Amino acid sequence: MNLVSVIIPYYKKKKYILSTIKSVLGQTYKKLELIIIFDETNKDNLEYISSICKLDKRIKLIINKKNLGASKSRNIGIKKSKGKYIAFIDADDLWFKSKIEYQLNFMKKNNAKVTHTSYEIIDKNNKKIGFRKAKSFFIINDLLTSCDIGLSTILLEKKILKKKFYFPELKTKEDFVLWLKLISNNTNIIGIKRKMVKWRKLNSSLSSSTLQKIIDGFRVYYKYMDFNFIKSTYYLILLSFNFMRKRVND
């Protein structure tokens, strides 16, 4: 039975973190380690998080000395992880109970290195407001114009995360860069149609900032994909169009 490392960066999600952790610890697949990276400079919530960590010996708590952001925090979690497989979940999202077991069995049966699943979109009150269906990505052009992979749905083999394939320092779209880099390195990302995750959409989150998404979207192409200015702008327009289309459909 392979160890799966689950990584959660924690930053100002006190209202939701316990439910998120319970959805991980309650998995039908039990051989897990849960790595929580505490990323708040204000340590007022540290006692609360520490008390949660005492609930299960599989939980490991890492405390950042200063606020590093989600990308660096996840990278720290990856370096500290001991599992053959790595999963990510944001501190306000939820997993279905069989998520890891089903996904891992699928990966072994189909010899897949990276998979993601369909997911439900919920609001702050757990009300369903949307749905995303997972699809497979084999070439970079399939993914360039729309980030259609939910971070909290991902399960991958740790060995594919070489140093250059860690999360870059962006406020949003950092996972988009990683998926593009993996596909560029001939790593297929296989979509599992079954809905296994509830992704929470909060208006106060960084991911809801349209301006920040535009800035980081341009950086994805210009800095990390090494496209020229015109090509980067072209793909940013397509990315923005697809982003707005998805918002209208939710």
- Each domain of the chain, given as residue ranges in start order, spans 4-249
Interatomic CA distance for residues 180 and 224, integer angstroms? 9
Q: What is the DSSP letter of 97?
A: T
pLDDT tens digits for range 63-91: 999 999 999 999 999 999 999 999 999 99
Q: Which class in CATH covers the domain with range 4-249?
A: alpha beta
Segment 49-69 mean pLDDT: 95
Radius of gyration of the chain (CA): 17
Nearest Cα residue to 105 out of 21, 1, 237: 1
The first and second tokens of residue 232, run together, are 């980067």
Q: Buried (b) or exposed (e) across 226-238, using 16+ Cβ within 10 A?
A: ebeeeebeebbee
Segment 199-209 mean pLDDT: 70
Four-residue CA torsion sign, 240, 241, 242, 245: positive
Can you give the pLDDT at residue 219? Answer: 95
pLDDT tens digits for range 170-183: 888 999 999 999 99
Can you give the pLDDT at residue 241? Answer: 87
The dihedral region occupied by 173, where left means phi > 0, alpha psi between -120 and 50, and beta the remainder, is: left
Interatomic CA distance for residues 235 and 81, integer angstroms? 35
Interatomic CA distance for residues 198 and 103, integer angstroms? 15
Question: Which residue's structure tokens are 């999360």?
Answer: 167
Can you give the pLDDT at residue 49? Answer: 95
